[in-house]
Amino acid sequence: MSDNQIVLRAESLAKQFGTLTALRSASLKLARGEFVTIFGRNGAGKTTFLKIVAGLIRSYRGSVHLFDEDCRSAGDLLRRRFGFVSHESLLYQDLTVRDNLLFYGKMYGVNEIRSSVERTITEMGLEAKASSLVRELSRGMRQRLSLGRAFLHDPHILLLDEPFTGLDDRAAAILDGKLTRFKDAGRSVIMATHNAERGWKHADSVAVLDRGIIVYNSAVKDTTFEKFRAEYLQILSR
Amino acid sequence: MRRTLAAILWKDLKIELRTKEAFSASFVFSVLVLVIFNFTLDLSSDEALKLGAGFLWIAFVFAGVLSLNRSFALEKEENCIQGLLLAPIDRGAIYVGKFLANVIFMLVTEIMVLPLFAIFFNVAIVERLWLLLVIFVLGTVGFSAVGTLFSAIAAQTRMREVMLPILLLPVTVPILIASVETTAFALGAQEGASFWFKLLIVYDVIFFTVGLLTFEYVLQE
């Protein structure tokens, strides 16, 4: 991976919440068009890592550079390049599907907002529910809408925190398709998950975060799924 | 920034128009306060004129607390506040958008409650209605400027409903006193209130500025 291909560089990230150490020293590089999956048990620090990268946590040790700019000083505009999917939907329950997307479209300054919103609704298979309140949607539909929200502003880097949790088969297939097209367009993804099969499927590189430290990092081409899974299970059993 | 805060205001108004949660709770609570004061204290016209402004603002304040509690509670549901923080927007715009929504919710309640107050306490309001409305705006702006900031802080605590009044009421004492004094002046219960008008304006400017400048730090995890 040459240095001019690197879009995101996180170095020695450390974060403490009171007496709890969430991250000790986590470093990761992400190249243009690369898909990195971070595995780890619950509480390993995956969500904290993604939140720091996304700019949601601003008080931490270490550094995050996006397109060679320090995220701490680069300001809000860098955030436009991120799409973020967390286990919470980040959707307003008392707004309709369309109104939620319109609102987030305005927040991100999306061009031709109405047509972008309608296209997203169609892509996510939510045409029949476009005027329904989010509160009235099933969990799977909410997740689909949440994915639509993350893709709406055409981000360059996608941060996914356990995105397959709670997805029905249709939503999982939509997400798979979106991720494939996203990667093919030269965009980059960091996905955090504890599901080995799901995480491996799209990955170019895999990393394992354990007790706040990246203890394993390998390109997918340098290993096999079976070999990786054996090592992952060994890390989990420590 | 204007586009962003307009979007936040539009979103809050749309949710409130759909649910009417903040308005219905605030309105019922305000009316209840006035009814209780009216029936438990058998006031003469002079006494009603003197004490009415205080009763009115007690009703507004407690109704306002209910409304402010709702302001960031809806952002905590499904962690929507994270969605706002992820967006490439000036965080001051979030503050101003939420502040404007809170001012509108409180003013609507106040305007609806005012005629009931006039009926319950037999107070003439028509002659100086414009002045009363100006006072309501000034008082509500100051109260919401502090309230929006503290609502964001309280929303991050486990005892949100209790925490907000504990934080808010001591800091808003000057504006409440000024609002009561100017309202009493508008109702004709006292002469001269220029000092209190000035205090209202100064308080509004100071606390709106403080809220705008500190809001970003309040939202940090």
Collapse the DSSP code of A40 into the 3-class scheme (helix H, G, I; strand E, B; otherwise coil) and give the result: coil
What would the mean pLDDT of B128-145 be, rounded to a whole number?
Answer: 95
Chosen from B18, B80, B86 to mutate, greatest number of chain A CBs within 10 A: B86
Distances (CA, A) of A49 to A161, A210, B193: 10, 12, 56
Closest residue in A to B93 (Cα–Cα): A107
Kindly list the distances between the CA atom of residue A4 and the CA atoms of A7, A29, A112, B175, in Å, as whole numbers in the listed order: 8, 12, 32, 57
Q: What is the least distance, in Å, from the CA of A157 to any CA of chain B?
A: 13
What is the reported pTM?
A: 0.89
pLDDT at A158: 93
B143: containing domain = 2-220
* Whole-angstrom distance, CA of residue B201 vs CA of residue B204: 5
Position B67, amino acid: S
Q: Is the pLDDT of residue A2 over 60?
A: no
Place of tokens 């093919």: A184
Choosing among A78, A86, A95, A106, which should be mutated to test the B contact, i.e. which has the most B CBs within 10 A? A106
**Closest Cα of chain B to A29: distance in Å?**
21
Which backbone phi and psi does A158 adopt, to 5 degrees?
Answer: -110, 130
ipTM summary value: 0.88
Alpha carbons within 13 angstroms on the beta-carbon side of residue B25 total 17
The verdict on a CB contact (< 8 Å) between A89 and B78 is yes
Q: Which chain B residues touch A107 with a CB distance below 8 Å?
A: 4, 7, 83-84, 87-89
Which chain B residue is nearest to residue A16, measuring alpha carbons?
B221
Q: Are A37 and A200 in contact (CB under 8 A)?
A: yes
Q: Provide mean pLDDT across the span B66-79.
A: 89
| Torsion sign, CA atoms B92, A9, A68, A204 | negative
Q: Mutate which of A94, A110, A134, A136 to test chain B, going by most B C-beta atoms within 10 A?
A: A94
Candidates A91, A106, A108; nearest CB to B78: A91
Give the CA-trace dihedral at B55, B56, B61, B64, to 10 degrees.
150
A81-133 per-position pLDDT tens digit: 889 998 888 999 999 999 999 999 999 999 899 999 999 999 988 999 999 99
Amino acid at site B40: T
Q: What's the angle, vertex CA A64, arms to CA A58 and CA A69, rounded to 5?
A: 105
Partners of A56 on chain B (C-beta within 8 Å) are 82, 85-86, 221
Which member of B77, B87, B89 has the closest CB to residue A93?
Answer: B77
Nearest to B7 among A59, A78, A103 (CB): A103
Judged by DSSP in three states, A196 sits in: helix
A12 phi and psi, to 5 degrees? 50, 45
A140-168 confidence digits (pLDDT tens): 888 889 999 999 999 999 999 988 887 77
Q: Does B42 touch chain A if contact means CB atoms closer than 8 Å?
A: no
Q: Position of tokens 């690369």?
A: A34
- Cβ atoms B88, A76 nearer than 8 A: yes
Residue A90 in tokens: 């980040």
Residues of B in contact with A108 (CB under 8 A): 87-88
The per-residue pLDDT for A74 is 61
Answer yes or no: is pLDDT of A135 > 80.
yes
Looking at the partner chain, which of B3, B18, B83 has a beta carbon nearest the beta carbon of A104? B83
Per-residue pLDDT band for A139 (boundaries 50, 70, 90) equals confident
- B residues 202-221 lying closer than 8 A (beta carbon) to A: 220-221
Q: Compute the mean pLDDT over every residue in chain A, rounded to the nearest whole number.
A: 89
Q: Give the relative orientation of helices B45-76 and B160-187 as an angle to the nearest 10 degrees.
A: 150
Do A90 and B77 lie within an 8 Å CB cutoff? no
Contact criterion met (CB < 8 Å) for A86 and B89 = no
Angle at B159 between CA B158 and CA B160, to 5 degrees: 95
B73-121 pLDDT, tens digit each = 889 888 899 999 889 988 899 999 999 999 999 999 999 999 999 999 8
Closest Cα in chain A, distance from residue B140 (Å): 26
Q: Quick: pLDDT tens for B166-219.
A: 999 999 999 999 999 999 999 888 888 889 999 999 999 999 999 999 998 888
Quote the percentage of chain A above a pLDDT of 70.
97
Closest Cβ opposite residue A94 in set B19, B86, B90: B19
Tell me the two tokens of residue B73: 């509670």
> Number of folded domains in chain B?
1
Contacts of B18 in chain A (CB under 8 A): 94-95, 133
Compute CA A169 distance to the chain's CA centroid, rounded to the nearest angstrom. 19
Whether B82 and A56 lie within 8 Å, measured CB to CB: yes
Q: Please enumerate in sequence order all residues whose Cβ is within 8 A of that of A130, keeping only pairs 6 or more positions apart, or say none.
A: A96, A97, A98, A121
- Measured between beta carbons, the chain A residues lying within 8 angstroms of B22 are none
